[in-house]
Amino acid sequence: MKTIKSKFDTFRHQTNIVIYGTNTASGRLFDLVLLGIIVLSVIIVMLETVKGFDKKYHHELIILEWIITIFFTLEYILRIISLKKPLKYIFSFYGIIDLIATLPMYLSLFYFGTSILTIVRALRLLRLFKILKHPQFSSQSNHLKEALIASRGKILIFIYFMLISSIVIGSLMYVVEGKEGGFTSIPISIYWTIVTLTTVGYGDISPITPLGQGIASLVMIMGYGIIAVPTGIVTAEFANNNRKKTNAKNSNPCPNCGTEGHEYNAKYCYHCGADLK
């Protein structure tokens, strides 16, 4: 009995290294193969929706999908087995994505048409960020995250303002333009306002009365100008982060208490008052 358990432990340990490890050759290889299969699976689901292609290769696509689904299922089971405390993984962000990446295919046996949901596998592409653990890379990634988190509050205020503006402008355009230009209801007019404010401009709905075109011009200039706001917010945070880093670099820690972050030309530690040189 003991040997079986210890064999299983060894197997678990080795599987863990291959699946979760990124330092060994086999661990790296597994990650690359996995990423390749994820990309392949996403491409297959895409091609299934292209009429001409699907007609010709329907059979082959289905078989490939089942192979990938079984591979993903095995991988999911191994991921759980190889952990001592698998619950944390099961309920983590990646764990849930890994599960729902396999389910739709099995569901499609019972409910027709659910196989399209396998496209959620695209989310597995986020694993790339787990694979790329190069320190320089993840510092870049953190840098991005920090700047976005720091500017979150201002961005929310900005979006709230934009939504209120869209409602008011949309209603105004509904009253001014009438139904000929395509402004058939207030929600549609609000949709048009967002299309215009964000400078997307499909042109499926566009004003035809002089007054409507005048208001539209103002909306465009407004949209063109206020893009400066989110840009300004995020840029200032990036610049801030950069500055902090640069300043941090200039420091050499206090020889007495180890505090960092001294001014460039400091002579005494600001924390303990010890002479810095």
Contact segment (CB under 8 A) with its own copies among 55-63, 77-85, 97-105, 178-186 equals: 178-186
- Min dist. Cβ of residue 76 to its own copies (A): 20
- According to CB under 8 A, which one of 67, 90, 100, 194 is a site residue for its own copies? 194
- According to CB under 8 A, which one of 63, 160, 211, 248 is a site residue for its own copies? 160
Is residue 142 involved in binding its own copies (CB under 8 A)?
A: no
C-beta of 87 vs 128, nearer to its own copies: 128
C-beta of 19 vs 205, nearer to its own copies: 205
- Min dist. Cβ of residue 36 to its own copies (A): 16
Contacts with 39 (C-beta within 8 Å, 6 or more apart), sequence order: 125
C-beta of 153 vs 255, nearer to its own copies: 153
Is residue 143 involved in binding its own copies (CB under 8 A)?
A: yes
- According to CB under 8 A, which one of 46, 70, 96, 248 is a site residue for its own copies? 46
Whether residue 260 contacts residue 253, with contact meaning beta carbons closer than 8 Å, is answered with yes
269: left (phi over 0), alpha (psi -120 to 50) or beta: beta
Encoded tokens for 35: 């990423």
- Min dist. Cβ of residue 63 to its own copies (A): 20
Is residue 131 involved in binding its own copies (CB under 8 A)?
A: no
Is residue 213 involved in binding its own copies (CB under 8 A)?
A: yes
Whether residue 158 contacts residue 233, with contact meaning beta carbons closer than 8 Å, is answered with yes
Using CA atoms, how far apart are residues 123 and 66, in angstroms rounded to an integer?
19
Q: Which of residues 227-246 bind its own copies (CB under 8 A)?
A: 227-243, 246
- According to CB under 8 A, which one of 78, 81, 131, 186 is a site residue for its own copies? 186
Q: 2-23 as b/e, with b when 16 or more CB fall inside 10 Å?
A: eeeeeeeeeeeeebbbbbebee
C-beta of 82 vs 223, nearer to its own copies: 223
- Min dist. Cβ of residue 163 to its own copies (A): 8
Is residue 209 involved in binding its own copies (CB under 8 A)?
A: no
Using CA atoms, how far apart are residues 256 and 271, in angstroms rounded to an integer?
10
Total residue count of the chain as it appears in this document: 277
DSSP conformational letter for 23: S
Nearest C-alpha neighbor of 121 from the set 94, 88, 141, 87: 94
Whether residue 16 contacts residue 22, with contact meaning beta carbons closer than 8 Å, is answered with no
